Amino acid sequence: MKIAIILNSFPKISEKFLLNHLIGLVNAGCDIHIFAARKFPQEPYHGIYYDNHMDRYTTWLGIPYKPLPRFLKAPVLFLRLLARNPRAAFEALKFGKYRTVAKNCKLLYFGNAFHGKHFDIVHCHFGPNGLIGTYLKECGYADRVITAFHGSDINSYPKRYGQDVYRILYEKCDLFTANTAYTRGKMVENGCDEQLIRIVPESLIASEYDGVDGSSRIPQSVLTVGRLEEKKGHTYALRAIAKIREFFPDLRYYMVGSGTLEKDLRDQATALGILDICDFVGSCTGEKVKEFYGTCEVFTLPSVTASNGDKEGQGLVIQEAQICGMPVVTTRHNGIPDGLLDGETGYLVEEADVDALADKLKVLLENEQLRRIFGEKGKVFVSSKYDIAVITKTLETCYNEVLETTAR
């Protein structure tokens, strides 16, 4: 089968789950063709991107990130598409039907990129890209469309652009996937047919972490991996670290990731009197992140619902930490509870509950045997449920399912 993959920026350091997914499909022998709106400007990318030569499978459309240059090019793109496929040209102007992806001219770019091509399946990652897939199907460039929802596209996107923003997608798309049961529930609330949704978690490549043995961990060290933004909950982690500092003279807190809140978080750490034990590491490649997974003792991601409604999807870093033998402390937030065994591979606490977060961190930092037991169970749990080999088989089942059914 011939499969087109629709992405936004690719490759992107913070979306390694997409890279894992694509490598799994390539290794399974699937004939994939990646169409990305633009190439993410920040290099270096994850090593597995280079090792697997993912650029060979990718076409970058070069869609400008800023609106003005995108709009200035639109008339030329329309005329070019009009000469090639009049139906596709006029379909791209149906703003009421395709909403945001028509208004921002993306359909004109994708319509031109797909000229002369045809695919059995267009697999779109994130809901807005599903609207692009629906357009491509309507224009005859694809037989079937699958749309993968990852969390933010259903938690905050409809609130921003209207609860009916996905109306045509729900009517025309052949199958949907959700990374967690929580995401599936939100999709159903928004109007998606539950019978057309399959649970397909974000995956990792378990063998990639075989070299992480955890034999030389830094005593009394806590790790968070994630962008420095509100929904990741760093502010609560800092407060929890401040609460337990008196019990651990060598306590260190490592924050891997960058973001708009770095200055605010540094100021908070200063105010709490813990800046000297906090390391703001910045963005890292997967190889560097693995080093932190192998040398820190406890992992925490105290995710919360942001003030703008943004929420965590699955939190793949929680599975990455577990596959490396780290016990985790995280929150009962969205789909996160699906990704660990509470009381067996880690602990769940309520959102923004600093006391509970501090208590569970203290329990794990004090008990080496408990950390080891949780760590071993975590490896088994993640390998059996989230490894790319398992998830790729699930995706292939989805592909075969839509090919065997009548197009909507």
CATH topology of domain 2-204+388-404: Rossmann fold (3.40.50)
The per-residue pLDDT for range 35-90, each reduced to its tens digit, is 999 998 776 678 889 999 999 999 999 999 999 999 999 999 999 999 999 999 99
Is this structure's pTM higher than 0.85?
yes
Coil, strand, or helix at residue 179?
coil
DSSP string, 145-158: EEEEE-SHHHHTHH
The structural domains of the chain, with segments of one domain joined by +, span 2-204+388-404, 206-386
Residue 360 token pair: 């569970």
Task: Tell me the per-residue pLDDT of 161-175, one tens digit each, with 9 for 90 and over.
Answer: 999 999 999 999 999
Per-residue b or e along 208-243, where b marks 16 or more CB atoms closer than 10 Å to that residue's CB = bbeebebeebeebbbbbbbbbbbbbbbbbbbbbbbb
For residue 402, count CB atoms less than 10 angstroms from its CB and return exposed for 0-12, middle for 13-18, buried for 19 or more: buried
Tell me whether domains 2-204+388-404 and 206-386 share a fold. yes
Contact 33, 3 (CB under 8 A): yes
The residue among 335, 398, 361 whose CA lies nearest residue 150 is: 335
Which element (helix H / strand E) includes 298?
strand 298-301
Statement: residue 376 has pLDDT above 80: yes
- Contact between 35 and 10 under an 8 Å Cβ cutoff? The reply is no
pLDDT at residue 407 in the model: 67
Domain 206-386 top-level CATH class: alpha beta
- Alpha-carbon span 123 to 173, nearest angstrom: 10
